[in-house]
Amino acid sequence: MTRPNFNDIQSFDEFKQYYWYRDELKQICKEHGITHTGTKTELNDNIKAYFNGEIIKPVKRMKIRKQDVPLTLETKLLECGFVLNGRFREFFGEITKTPNFKFTADMATALRRVRSEGNVNFTLKDLLDVYYGKSDYAKYDNSACQWNQFLKDFCRDENNKILLNPEIIKTMGRLYETEEGCLSHIGVKKTKRYEKIKVAYYDVDFKKKIKTFSNYTAQIIQHEIDHCNGILI
């Protein structure tokens, strides 16, 4: 399927039928006066808003001298020029009594949202609440991390290197409903998967093998076999 030019696409539903790289999404936003910073998910959200008639404009950042702003829990992020560096790590380390304090992915996501929305009221206390999980102001999208972890775990097993011409010959366990993401489309969609599957396949030496997979590994293999059969969730 040939991907059309962005300007020829009539709706977001049509847009999300095609795969776009983050740099392409960034360029699309830039060309149409949409804020073009953030994660791939955030850029897709900005484009979705564009198709709905809302243009999320880039926010001009405040220019201040960071060293002139004392740090307290009531200090506003944009006022103090908050960044994920040693100065603020030391501040949060003292507040949480954590010697080797590390910023979380949720905190970084919150910072991006504050900047993109120009939220001048968001304080270091609000960010601390994000750290402790007391606030749902921003949550990191970990779907890509789950996929990366699966690949690491799968490839670590010498018996899982390559499955040639895989075929599910038996399904076992419960049939459950779940949501999956995919590089073939934007966001997640509902689908049904079996808890356990038995798969016949060939290894790299073209020797036929049969192996049973369960849980998340079984789910991913079912997803990929769907692709082999021309099925997109």
Write out the catalytic residue numbers.
224
Q: What gap in Å lies between CA 187 and CA 165, rounded to an integer?
A: 28
Q: What gap in Å lies between CA 227 and CA 39, rounded to an integer?
A: 26
Closest Cα partner for 199 from 190, 210, 191? 210
Q: What is the dihedral of CA 43, 150, 135, 73, to 10 degrees?
A: -90
Angle at 64 between CA 60 and CA 65, to 5 degrees: 155
Q: Show the tokens assigned to 126.
A: 């609000």
